[in-house]
Amino acid sequence: MVSLDDIREAHDRIRPHIRYTPVFTSRAIDELLGAKVTFKFESLQRGGSFKIRGALNAVLSLTDAAAELGVATHSSGNHGAALAIAAAIRGIPAYIVVPSNAPRVKRAAIEGYGGIVTECAPNVPAREAALDEVVRQTGAHFVPPYDDARIVAGQGTATVELLEQVPDIEQLWVPVGGGGLASGAAIAVRGIDPDVDVIAAEPSRADDAFRSLANGRIEPMRNPATIADGLRTPLGQINFDILSSHRVTVELASESAILAATRLILERMKLVVEPSGAVPLAALMETPPSRRAPRIGVIVSGGNVDLESLLYALKNAG
């Protein structure tokens, strides 16, 4: 298990290379939800998402011998871009396996940061097979997107910052896909203020974390047809163990709510958010008021979005 000390050590390690991202509020959203909601915008983080935290912690933790031949991973976008940035800081190559249906803006970011892209079919077996071949050919060190203690510790630094910025929150809402951000948040909260409830938000069309925690075992992902592309990944084993032991609950968000929340942030807060980052607000909007605390913190996970695709989806959603 990862500890709060591990998260604090990760924060010290990565601090020179990341942004201490700001928090914002919206009176319109507070009135809508009947609560005081503070958003931490990791969309303004280096690389456009929280992923740089875990990637940097993993890459900077490597010995020179382990890092010598570079790093590799599979990613739908944000982790790949983050690993490319981290590798550039370390001065080593980054090999990224990207599914063919990854958003164009995210693939362009990976390549723009110097990542060497290999495309694969859009399913987990194809990703893993392509990654195995890349590692075999290059000797690069595999850095998982989320199912890794170094990644979890790095992602937990976002919550440490939020609790410094807003120490009086009663609930923390975070998106959950593979579970790195949510599990890091759970560890940070339990170590700093155990009275805060951690709620992981997930698309109802990609609800494997919800089913897994409800049933006490990892459940398979079922054709995750959600606009929240960053949350289409299956829950990792390490992350499942942490979320289970820290009693994290999961709330679901419909596709219509995800689009409405994305629009709300764009129109009311004037900040760019990708649908995955709007999932916590979407879930809050669909959660009964009795399960919402008066003071809420939300981590907006990223802002790397294909604007043409998003505008098309918003227009067709009415």
C-beta atoms surrounding 78 within 10 Å:
33
DSSP-derived secondary structure letter, 130: H
What is the tens place of the pLDDT at every residue in 82-132?
999 999 999 999 999 998 888 788 889 999 999 999 999 988 789 899 999
Q: Determine the topology of domain 4-49+148-316 in CATH.
A: Rossmann fold (3.40.50)
More confident residue, 224 or 239: 239
With a CB cutoff of 8 Å and minimum separation 6, the contacts of 282 are 201, 253, 254, 257, 258, 260, 261, 262
With 0-12 / 13-18 / 19 or more C-beta atoms within 10 angstroms meaning exposed / middle / buried, residue 247 is exposed
The pLDDT assigned to 92 comes to 97
Length of the chain: 318
The pLDDT assigned to 9 comes to 98
What is the tens place of the pLDDT at every residue in 229-239?
889 889 999 99
- Please state, rounded to an integer, the average pLDDT across all residues of the chain: 94
Q: Region 53-58: what's the mean pLDDT?
A: 98
Q: Region 217-226: what's the mean pLDDT?
A: 90
What is the tens place of the pLDDT at every residue in 11-48?
999 999 999 999 999 999 999 999 999 999 999 999 99
The pLDDT assigned to 318 comes to 60
C-beta atoms surrounding 118 within 10 Å:
16
Give 240-272 as a DSSP string: HHHHHHTT-EEEEE-HHHHHHHHHHIIIII---
What is the tens place of the pLDDT at every residue in 241-254?
999 999 999 999 99
**Statement: residue 204 has pLDDT above 90:** yes
What is the tens place of the pLDDT at every residue in 184-203?
999 999 999 999 999 999 99
Q: Can you state the angle between helices 78-90 and 104-112, rounded to 10 degrees?
A: 0
The pLDDT assigned to 310 comes to 78
Q: Determine the topology of domain 52-142 in CATH.
A: Rossmann fold (3.40.50)
The pLDDT assigned to 223 comes to 81
- Span(s) in the chain for CATH 3.40.50.1100: 4-49+148-316, 52-142
Buried b / exposed e along 256-278 (16+ C-beta atoms within 10 A): ebbbbbbbbbbeebebbbbbbbb
The closest alpha carbon to 26, from 284, 314, 202, 303, belongs to 284
In terms of DSSP H, where are the helices of the chain? Answer: 4-14, 27-33, 51-61, 64-67, 78-90, 104-112, 124-138, 149-165, 180-192, 208-215, 237-245, 255-264, 275-286, 307-316
Query: What would the two tokens of residue 38 be?
Result: 């503070």
Instruction: Round to whole Å and give the CA distance between 39 and 172.
Output: 10
Would you say 275 and 227 are in contact if contact means Cβ atoms under 8 Å apart?
yes
- Mapped onto helix, strand or coil, the DSSP state of residue 232 is coil
Q: What is the largest CA-CA distance in the chain?
A: 56
**Statement: residue 289 has pLDDT above 70:** yes
Would you say 2 and 184 are in contact if contact means Cβ atoms under 8 Å apart?
yes
The pLDDT assigned to 146 comes to 92
